[in-house]
Amino acid sequence: MQFKSLCLSLVLSTISFLNFAQLATDSLPDKARPKIGLVLSGGGAKGFAHVGVLKVIDELGIPIDYIAGTSMGGLIGGFYAIGYSAVDIEKMILSQNWENLLSDNVSRKFVPIYEKKDFERYILSFPIKPKGIQLPSGIVGGQNVINLFERLTIEYHDQTDFNKLPIPFLCIATDLETGKAVVLDKGYLPLAMRASMAIPTFFSPVEIDGKLLADGGMINNFPVKELINMGADIIIGVDVQSGVKSKKELKSILDIMNQTVSLMALNNFKDNLKYCDIYIKPKIDEYTVGSFQDADSLIHRGEAIAQTFIPTLLDLKKKYNLEKKKLKAYVPPCDSSTYFIKDVEVNGLNEVSYSLLYGKLNLEMNSNVSLYKLQDGINRVYGSRYFDRVDFQMKGEEEKTLIVNVKERTTKRFNVGLHYDSDNNAAVLLNTTFRNKLKSGSRLSFDLKLAENPRFKTTYTVDNGLKPGLNVEAEFNDSQVDAFEDGKKLASYDFNYLKFDVNTHSIFRESYSFGLGGKIEYYNINSEFTTLDLLDSRDEDYYFTYYAFLNLDSHDKAYYPKTGMSLYGEYKLVTNNGFKLDGMNRPASVAYLKFQKAISVSSAFTVYPKFYGRVVWGKNIPNFYMSYTGGIDQTDYFDIQMPFVGLERMELASINSFVFRADFQYELFRNNYLILKTNAGKLVEDVNDALTQGEWIRGIGLTYSYNSLIGPIEFSLMYSDKKNGISNYVNLGFWF
């Protein structure tokens, strides 16, 4: 009996011990189950398919213990590692304007008003280094990309050890000096993600810890071994690479770039693939690394292929009793998110003054600053055109230190513009621009226009914001202008113009400026026809002019704007000797007003009303200061010219001119526009009789336009009641 009791006690004790052991095992799940690692390959836009796979992994509750990625895989993996769900990443991807994001473009509203004219007129721009003109290190510097990463990871700016993220993470880059793969598992997360995706020739490389880094896909596009070294036991791999293409399939520069990367990383990929337990390859062969506009369908393709792996993933979950740990969800920041900024530190300033940068940043210290206001400040600093890159980092718990990292733009640049139009024929613009000469925040520019109508202009500008700045200009213009009568061309003459101009001005919120100035103007007309009414008894003269001006430009784009307005108003006094005009006891007065406003009726349709007015007071007004109406070019070489659709350039002469115009702009499809241009004008000799006297003129035009990389390509058909028949007009390239 005692023996039976002893055996029973022993059995019960054994069962109790086993139950305790099981409970102990359950309480230590990290030691009881294998660790799951997720590897995401690079592949440009095709990497969006990763998100679809992650959506299925989230829905099944599969825990991910480690993440490694390259290029686009590194970006998506980085966001997932800090707590973004697959659905959050999907929303972020679909909400982006990828054309703008994958460029260094900044909204015109952040560009100082004196820079707006130059903002969209060059097709090529090169830095001038001590050894001469050099090509940039990449087509895109990555300004908008790094700003997006910094915004979306703002709560993890302080975390420099990626193993301590909610999910330990690493990404791969390539050291351009040694050609070796670099594992990025520490540092500044947004910069590491940016380095991993720096596709050579397209994106500029990134310097981290003294190494110049580019896209990791060149060496290791499927970092499985690195994931195993982190501690992963089971590897789920998602591969969006195209693989090696045949010569018949290499049809574009993107195909060739992708092929180059694939060949370089091929051996590494084959080796890594051996260690992958679950290999998922979405069916996306018809897409390219540049298919950013197909994000929605790529995500769907990833989700579709992952659904075929549901039984495999569920078997894995059941076999190891996998349960997803409840991680703290990362709440994406929004424009209204605020941060208490105690101080600002700036890294990278050499020639540009701290006061200029701080003034552009326009943030109040020791106060809560919204993310929207912070981003606007960063955009204003970058839009100043003094920097190639401006990024930021937040450090601290409750009270933040804002660290602004800048890379100063090369102070010397060589720029090239190309243009053709029916009035002026072909032209090449050569420009050199120097910054911070004599004074920080200054800009010295030289323009040489090579054409039938050559032009030279040099400008020195000092920007002091609201404090008065300085602008000095010297210009020479040799132009051929035609004389008309009853719509028929009678003759051509050379119109030479020389100007020296000095003004002081103030700038308000980047889009407004006002100021006072004076200039000396010299006019010379040469023609073998001496009977033209256009010519005065003298064919040359010079004048001293004093003026005041107001300038406003808030258009979202220089060409085909959909929002914003522009206004330029000027009043000037014209004299021969500095005090009066010959034959008069007082100087002549000239007032000029140009107003344009873009009204967006829908996403595709914009109404663009415009007004041009020029009024001259006084007797014995020189012909040089009369108003000449006609032409649709967008240059402002002469402020005596009034644009008018349907007439030749400067076709009609009058003392005063008023033009009322409305453009009806419809975007047929991306960057292709059909524009109906209507205008009516009144030419008046005496402004006091403008309501009862004068001649009305009318015109209409229809323009088809394509907004290309080299500028607008336009073809117009026009009609005016002052001419017989329909005329045409062609314009190619940016105006300058």
Q: What is the pLDDT of residues 654-710, one digit of tens each?
A: 999 999 999 999 999 989 999 999 999 999 988 877 777 889 999 999 999 999 989
Strands (E), 452-564: 455-462, 469-485, 488-508, 512-526, 540-553
Distance CA 581, CA 622 (A): 10
**Whether residue 447 sits in one domain with residue 366:** no
3-state secondary structure 315-357: HHHHHCCCCCCCCCCCCCCCCCCEEEEEEEEEECCCCCCHHHH
Distance CA 137, CA 147 (A): 19
Number of H helices, E strands in the chain: 15, 36
Contacts 24+ apart (CB under 8 A), 578-581: 578/544, 581/618, 581/620
Residue 30 lies in a domain: no
Catalytic residue among 88, 215, 376, 423: 215
Domain boundary among 374, 408, 442: 408
**Whether residue 167 sits in one domain with residue 213:** yes
Residue 478 lies in a domain: yes
Residue 544 pairs in a beta bridge with 520, 575
Distance CA 198, CA 304 (A): 29
Distance CA 597, CA 553 (A): 10
**Whether residue 483 sits in one domain with residue 574:** yes
**Whether residue 224 sits in one domain with residue 89:** yes
- Who's near 455: CB < 8 A, 6+ residues apart? 447, 448, 449, 475, 476, 477, 478, 479, 637
Distance CA 470, CA 462 (A): 5
Beta carbons of 619 and 584 less than 8 angstroms apart: yes
Beta carbons of 496 and 523 less than 8 angstroms apart: yes
Residue 684 lies in a domain: no
Residue 194 lies in a domain: yes
Catalytic residue among 41, 65, 71, 447: 71
Distance CA 649, CA 483 (A): 10
Q: Which of 261, 264, 209, 214 is nearest to 240 (CA)?
A: 261
pLDDT tens per residue across span 268-320:
888 889 999 999 999 998 998 889 999 999 999 999 999 999 999 999 999 99
Average pLDDT, the chain: 88
Residue 350 lies in a domain: yes
Residue 735 lies in a domain: no
**Whether residue 508 sits in one domain with residue 553:** yes
Q: How many domains does the chain have?
A: 3
Domain boundary among 660, 681, 699: 660
| pLDDT over 90 (residue 209) | yes
**Whether residue 559 sits in one domain with residue 438:** yes
Supply the pLDDT for residue 250: 67
Residue 69 lies in a domain: yes
Distance CA 252, CA 336 (A): 43
Distance CA 290, CA 544 (A): 57
Distance CA 209, CA 656 (A): 66
Sorting pLDDT into bands at 50, 70 and 90, what band is 536? Answer: very low
Distance CA 700, CA 645 (A): 6
Q: Is 215 assigned a catalytic role?
A: yes
Beta carbons of 194 and 214 less than 8 angstroms apart: no
Q: Token pair for residue 228?
A: 């195993």
The pTM (predicted TM-score) of the whole model is 0.81
Q: CATH no. for residue 46?
A: 3.40.1090.10
Q: Give 543 or 493, the one with higher predicted confidence.
A: 543
In angstroms, what CA-CA distances link 129 with 412, 507, 655? Answer: 7, 31, 50
Q: CATH no. for residue 464?
A: 2.40.160.50
Distance CA 706, CA 729 (A): 15
Q: Is 71 assigned a catalytic role?
A: yes
**Whether residue 261 sits in one domain with residue 168:** yes
**Beta-carbon count within 10 A of 253 CB:** 11
Sorting pLDDT into bands at 50, 70 and 90, what band is 94? Answer: very high
**Whether residue 314 sits in one domain with residue 373:** no
| Residue 13 C-beta-side C-alpha neighbours within 13 Å | 6
**Whether residue 480 sits in one domain with residue 400:** no
**Whether residue 229 sits in one domain with residue 98:** yes
Residue 495 pairs in a beta bridge with 479, 525
Supply the pLDDT for residue 252: 67
**Beta-carbon count within 10 A of 223 CB:** 30
Residue 447 pairs in a beta bridge with 431, 457
First to last CA, the chain: 111
Q: Which of 36-40, 262-266, 620-624 has the highest mean pLDDT?
A: 36-40
Supply the pLDDT for residue 509: 81
Beta carbons of 66 and 233 less than 8 angstroms apart: no
Report the range of poorest mean pLDDT among 326-335, 403-412, 643-652.
326-335
Domain boundary among 384, 408, 432: 408
Distance CA 25, CA 21 (A): 6
**Whether residue 373 sits in one domain with residue 250:** no
**Whether residue 423 sits in one domain with residue 404:** no
Q: CATH no. for residue 355?
A: 3.10.20.310
Supply the pLDDT for residue 28: 39
Supply the pLDDT for residue 600: 96
Q: Which domain holds residue 363?
A: 338-408
DSSP 409: P
Residue 705 lies in a domain: no
Distance CA 525, CA 540 (A): 6
| pLDDT over 80 (residue 19) | no
